[in-house]
Amino acid sequence: MSTREERIQKRRELIQERCAKAVNNGEENNEVNLEDTVSIKNEEIPHHGIKQVNQSLSLMNLTKNTHVKEITNIQLKQEKAEHQLRKIYSKERQEVSRLAGEAKSMLHQDFVENFNISPNDDVKEVYSQLESIRNGCQSNLEAFSNVVNQLHAILRCQEQQYIDTVKQQENFVDTIRNLMCAQLSSLETLANDELLAIEEMYEVDRNSLIEKQKSQLDAMIRDKEEFEQQELQLVSTAAEERSLATLKVYDEVNKEYNALRDKLQNEVYELEREWSVSKGLYSVSADQIEYDNREVGTRNKESEQRIKKNKKRIVQIKEELKRCLEDARVSEDRDKKLNESMELDCRRLEKQFQNLMNKLHRFELLQEEKFKAASVMHAEEAATLTDRIERAWASTEAILFHSLPSSETIDNGNRSKLLKMLENYHNLLEKRSEVSHKLTKAENQNSQLERNLDKLYNDENIKSLLIPPSRH
What is the model's pLDDT at position 403?
A: 45
Average pLDDT, stretch 50-74?
61
Compare 14 and 331 and report the one with higher pLDDT: 331
For the chain, percent of residues with pLDDT exceeding 90:
0
- Out of 60-69, 189-198, 221-230, 281-290, the most confident range is 221-230
Instruction: Kindly report which listed range (85-94, 425-434, 458-467) carries the lowest average pLDDT score.
Output: 458-467
CA distance 315 to 206: 112
The pLDDT tens digits of the residues spanning 148-182 come to 777 778 777 877 777 777 777 777 777 777 777 77
CA distance 397 to 401: 6
What is the model's pLDDT at position 107?
A: 54
For the chain, percent of residues with pLDDT exceeding 70:
51
CA distance 136 to 108: 11
pLDDT classification of 193: cutoffs 50, 70, 90: confident
What is the model's pLDDT at position 409?
A: 45
Sequence ranges of the domains in the chain: 2-234, 378-466
DSSP result, 111-172: HHHH----TTS-HHHHHHHHHHHHHHHHHHHHHHHHHHHHHHHHHHHHHHHHHHHHHHHHHH
What is the model's pLDDT at position 231?
A: 82
pLDDT classification of 326: cutoffs 50, 70, 90: confident
For residue 460, is pLDDT > 60?
Answer: no
Distances 180 to 57, 71, 318, 322 between C-alpha atoms, Å: 19, 8, 124, 125
Average pLDDT, stretch 264-285?
80
For residue 292, is pLDDT > 60?
Answer: yes
CA distance 30 to 57: 9
Compare 307 and 80 and report the one with higher pLDDT: 307
For residue 2, is pLDDT > 70?
Answer: no
What is the model's pLDDT at position 410?
A: 44
What is the model's pLDDT at position 79?
A: 62
Compare 246 and 39 and report the one with higher pLDDT: 246
**pTM tops 0.85:** no
For residue 466, is pLDDT > 50?
Answer: no
Short-list 22, 50, 23, 63, CA closest to 189: 63
What is the model's pLDDT at position 1?
A: 46
For residue 43, the SS3 value is coil
For residue 349, is pLDDT > 70?
Answer: yes
- Residues 6 or more apart in contact with residue 132 via CB below 8 angstroms: 114
For residue 263, is pLDDT > 80?
Answer: yes
Compare 357 and 416 and report the one with higher pLDDT: 357
Distances 388 to 371, 394, 418, 420 between C-alpha atoms, Å: 17, 11, 12, 16
pLDDT classification of 45: cutoffs 50, 70, 90: very low
